[in-house]
Each structure stands twice: as C-alpha cells, then as structure tokens.
Structure 1
C-alpha cells in the first residue's frame, strides 16, 4: 500500500440534531473546505483501516485534493481536470489516469469515490435510478448509481439551508476488497 493510503483521519463526532427539513444549499462550482476521512475495508478476510485529513479545492473544471496524515503532514496531492487525474506522492514520479476513480483504484487497489465527492460534499448524489438526489435532515440516505450507500449523518451548525457535516459511505466488493466503509467529516470552509 502506498503512502497515499495513509491519507485518510479518525473521525469521531457525535450526532447533531437536524437543523431543518429543507434540502441542502444550492450546488456550487467553487468549493473550498477541509475535513477528515477514515476508511475501513475488508481485504482477503482481514479488516484494515486508514485515516487522515484532506483539503478540497474545487472549481468548475478542476479539483485539487491534498491528502495529509492525521498530524497534518502532506502525503499526496491529486489534481483532476477534464480527461486527466494526476497523483503526486512525495519523491515518487506522478501517476496519471484518464479519470480520478480509475487512478485511485490503481493506486489503492479499491474504489475511492473522489469523483462522487464533488457532489457528496455538498449534499448531492446521482441515485441508482439516475435521478439527482438532494439530501436533507429528513431525507439523509441514498444508494448511488455506482453502488455506494450514502448516509448524510449530521449537518453543520447554523447553516441555512443545511450543509453536510458528516457523510458515511459504504460499498460492497470492488477492486481487491470485499467491502469499503468511509466516514467523511467536513470541518468547515477552508482557511483563507
């Protein structure tokens, strides 16, 4: 496993009371936020886990993700543009693929849904039936078109309309793992 796998932070947060039953904030092309991620997966009958921090910088045609250890040391960066995704890890040569999900599957050996995060971090997803899903405290669960079971567990305090705070994502077999469970905690907007 590469250092990029270590990226993903122990994310213990307690449940919050729903803020309202309104749908999430309107979709934005520009998103800058920081958060934590923990991943548990089952490979060859053995439970494994990784955790870390992330910085997410999204523009209409580009997404930049910085992955860090739980202590904040940068481990890897991912740059995603139309038609190409590039992962840079320490002193290693950059790796690239036509899309970010293919790239992360090659590096990790299992699916990490980076392309889906463009929507998920804002409370949206494409449901299994192909319809656009907008989460809310009253409607927090959906299964995506690519098989992820999402639950928008908690919401940012004081955000009107609501914005996700914690997202749990689970998926069965993919790549060389039998199951993947991801917990994403959004700590808030990126520091200036």
Structure 2
C-alpha cells in the first residue's frame, strides 16, 4: 500500500470554483480562466512519476471528475497494485485489493487518517486545469503569451506547466512538474476527455 500513498495525496480533492487572482496579462488570462471555470466534467488519462527522499516510482492514472464527485484509479505496470479513490467534498474512501476500505468525511480527513496530518488536497483539481486554487494565497504566478499558466507557487508547492494541448474548445495542461521540499512529481497527461466527450 505504501507504493500508492504518494500518488494518493495528489489526487484527493473536491471540486469548487475560483475567482482568479489579479492577472499579469489581463485579457488573455481572464478569458482563459473564465472558460476553464465552466469545465466541471472530465476524464484524464496519464502517467504520474514521483520521488521523495527515500524512493520513487510511477503509476498510470485514470481520473474522472463530475462536479464535486471524483473517481481516481491508479495502477502500476500490467495493472499491478490497483488502487481506487472516490468520493466528493463530504466523503472519501480508498479501495485497494486485499485491504480494508478506508473512509473519511472528506478527502483532507482521509489524508490525515493515513499520514497524521492534512495534505493540501483541494488544490490539485485546480492545478490540473492550469489555474490556481482559490483556497490559498498565490505567492507567485507567471503566464505564457497565450494567457496560460507557466509557473505557480502556492501552498508551499512550486509548479511548472511545461506543456499544453488544445482539446476541442479547451486548452489544458499536458505536463505538470511540482515540488515541495523533498517531494516532487511529474504528471504527463496522455489523453484528456473534457466535458461532453467523457464516455
């Protein structure tokens, strides 16, 4: 189970909407974020690599979000170590083959149950769309010429958005790097299914 804990903390979160921080490129940034605020249904398929002071690894990720409800499935090579995390902002549970199901009243409470303190789990569902979370102050934010997010410092995390792709009407991150202290991750999105393209 330990193999999946670093991935778990990245994918628990409820869905809420943000009011953007004052932008650098006002017109492009506002247009981009206002458009992304409409996206509350998606399926993301990708690969996550992580490293901490002791070890590292990677997992395939399948993440479905619908409003505040999320369903994240993680697995290693050849489907090994399958883990499922699902819930909403009022409930979360962790399911893993051969283990008892863990439940909590919120995603943050589940991480506290697992690790002894609450990780900033609400942020990733904003970051993965390429916008800051409204729940915490933004320390630093820089943009690309197109109005997309290039770098972000928030909640003691430093994030780089090193790739984007056009998926229908949406411009969404395809590669995100993050680090906080001794922990780092790289999320490579292989396939986005936003909005009504979710099957």
Give TM-score, length-normalised by structure 1: 0.71
Q: Confirm or deny: 8 A CA contact 1:116 1:125 kept in the other structure.
A: yes
Q: Would you say 1:104 and 2:114 are equivalent positions?
A: no
Give 2:98's aligned residue: 91
After superposition, the Cα gap between the structure-2 partners of 1:113 and 1:49, relative to the gap in structure 1 and judged at 3 Å, is farther
Give 2:152's aligned residue: 142
Q: Would you say 1:71 and 2:78 are equivalent positions?
A: yes
Task: Could you tell me which runs of 5 or more consecutive residues in structure 2 were left unpaired when the two chains were aligned.
Answer: 9-26
After superposition, the Cα gap between the structure-2 partners of 1:59 and 1:40, relative to the gap in structure 1 and judged at 3 Å, is same
Deviation at 1:79, TM superposition (A): 0.7
Q: Would you say 1:152 and 2:158 are equivalent positions?
A: no
Deviations 1:49-93 (A, max 9, x none): 021011111011201100111333461100121222100011211
Q: Confirm or deny: 8 A CA contact 1:140 1:153 kept in the other structure.
A: yes
SS state at 1:71 partner: helix
- d(CA) in 1 for partners of 2:87, 2:188: 21
Q: Would you say 1:26 and 2:36 are equivalent positions?
A: yes
Give TM-score, length-normalised by structure 2: 0.69
Superposed counterparts of 1:41-190, under 5 Å? 41-42=52-53, 47-73=54-80, 75-104=82-111, 106-107=113-114, 114-126=121-133, 130=137, 136-138=143-145, 139-144=149-154, 146-156=155-165, 162-172=171-181, 179-190=182-193
SS state at 2:124 partner: helix
Task: Could you tell me which runs of 5 or more consecutive residues in structure 1 were left unpaired when the two chains were aligned.
Answer: 9-20, 173-178
Deviation at 1:110, TM superposition (A): 8.2
- d(CA) in 1 for partners of 2:142, 2:40: 18
- d(CA) in 1 for partners of 2:90, 2:105: 5
Deviations 1:25-56 (A, max 9, x none): 523111111111011011xxxx3102101111
